[in-house]
């Protein structure tokens, strides 16, 4: 694995029986100094498979929002653009003498230069898209805004009723998308949590199934206790291998 730039960080046995011990859980990293607090803990229930805990010293950085060019074609002076193009097209080289590629390159550069000069534009920073703003939600938001503009322009009872109906549908769809894309914070697992889990579980059935049930119960209770609080970022990762 070292030939591929990966290094083994765990050197302790992770499965211990009465007759032998072996390392069956491998933790590879291309930067071993980023893996700290690597330890092998006690097994869950009566399993001979030990738990592996580690801490990754990695700081996640959100990528910067890219800049995009916003063009205001509704404020462009198309009459002036047409006059300038008519005067400049006469001076472009003839494709039959200069070649098609050169003629197209001259026309393209001239056309883009005129559009850049005559059409107002500016650079704007793109906003990060929210996970619950799906294609269907954006479609209803556009219909809602269009209905609101028509209702303000003509000011009729039917148009206002149409706007209120689309507004309520948009609110319901956004609420539904938010529920489906709800944030599920991952609780932090430490060795103390595992020890308390084992000590408090007196009804566990020996075997991997009991370990899975206990872990599920612990995650469920932890999730209920932190749903109403500030979301936390996971700093410790735990690996279950059955």
**Per-residue pLDDT tens digits for 144-158:** 999 999 999 999 999
Same-domain check for residues 50 and 77: no
Q: What is the mean pLDDT of residues 20-34?
A: 85
pLDDT for position 156 = 94
Same-domain check for residues 148 and 195: no
For the stretch 65-121, pLDDT in tens is 778 888 898 888 888 888 888 887 777 767 777 777 887 888 888 888 888 988 999
The predicted model scores a pTM of 0.33
Asked whether the predicted pLDDT for residue 31 surpasses 50, the reply is yes
Name the DSSP class of 21. E
Same-domain check for residues 71 and 52: no
Question: What's the mean pLDDT when you consider all of the chain?
Answer: 75
* Structural domain includes residue 130: no
User: Are 23 and 11 in contact, with CB atoms under 8 Å apart?
Assistant: yes
User: How far from the centroid of its chain's Cα atoms is residue 206's Cα?
Assistant: 39
Same-domain check for residues 75 and 103: yes
Same-domain check for residues 207 and 230: yes
pLDDT for position 153 = 93
Same-domain check for residues 51 and 22: yes
Same-domain check for residues 79 and 110: yes
190-201 residues labelled b (16+ CB within 10 A) or e (exposed): eeeebeebbeeb
pLDDT for position 182 = 60
pLDDT for position 143 = 94
Same-domain check for residues 71 and 20: no
CA 141 to each of CA 124, 137, 164, 179, 189: distance values in angstroms, whole numbers, following the listed order = 22, 6, 12, 18, 41
* Structural domain includes residue 40: yes
pLDDT for position 11 = 85
pLDDT for position 226 = 43
Measured between alpha carbons, how far is 164 from 148 in angstroms, rounded to an integer?
9
* Structural domain includes residue 33: yes
Sequential DSSP letters for 72-110: -GGG--HHHHHHHHHHHHTTSPPHHHH-HHHHHHHHHHH
For the stretch 177-233, pLDDT in tens is 888 776 444 444 455 555 565 555 444 434 444 444 455 555 555 544 444 444 433
* Structural domain includes residue 150: yes
Nearest Cα to Cα of residue 92 among 116, 84, 80:
84
Domain that holds residue 217: 2-61+188-239
Nearest Cα to Cα of residue 91 among 80, 106, 79, 81:
106
Asked whether the predicted pLDDT for residue 238 surpasses 60, the reply is no
* Structural domain includes residue 202: yes
Measured between alpha carbons, how far is 25 from 5 in angstroms, rounded to an integer?
19
Same-domain check for residues 48 and 23: yes
Number of domains in the chain: 3
* Structural domain includes residue 88: yes
């Amino acid at each position: 694995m070292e030939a591929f730039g990966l290094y083994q960080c765990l050197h302790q046995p992770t499965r211990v029986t009465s007759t032998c011990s072996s390392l069956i859980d491998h933790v590879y990293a291309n930067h071993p100094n980023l893996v700290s607090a690597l330890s092998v803990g006690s097994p869950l229930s009566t399993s001979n498979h030990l738990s592996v805990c580690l801490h990754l010293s990695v700081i996640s950085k959100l990528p910067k929002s890219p800049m995009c060019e916003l063009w205001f074609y509704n404020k462009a002076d198309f009459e002036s653009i047409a006059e300038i193009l008519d005067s400049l097209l006469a001076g472009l080289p003839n494709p039959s003498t200069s070649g098609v590629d050169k003629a197209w390159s001259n026309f393209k550069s001239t056309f883009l230069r005129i559009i850049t000069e005559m059409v107002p534009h500016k650079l704007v920073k793109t906003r990060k898209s929210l996970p619950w703003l799906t294609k269907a939600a954006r479609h209803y938001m556009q219909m809602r805004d269009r209905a609101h503009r028509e209702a303000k322009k003509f000011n009729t009872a039917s148009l206002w009723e149409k706007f209120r109906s689309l507004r309520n549908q948009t609110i319901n769809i956004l609420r539904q998308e938010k529920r489906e894309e709800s944030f599920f914070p991952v609780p932090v697992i430490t060795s103390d949590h595992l020890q308390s889990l084992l000590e408090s579980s007196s009804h566990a059935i020996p075997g991997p199934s009991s370990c899975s049930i206990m872990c599920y119960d612990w995650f469920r209770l932890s999730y209920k206790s932190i749903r109403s609080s500030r979301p936390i970022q996971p700093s410790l990762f735990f690996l279950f291998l059955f």
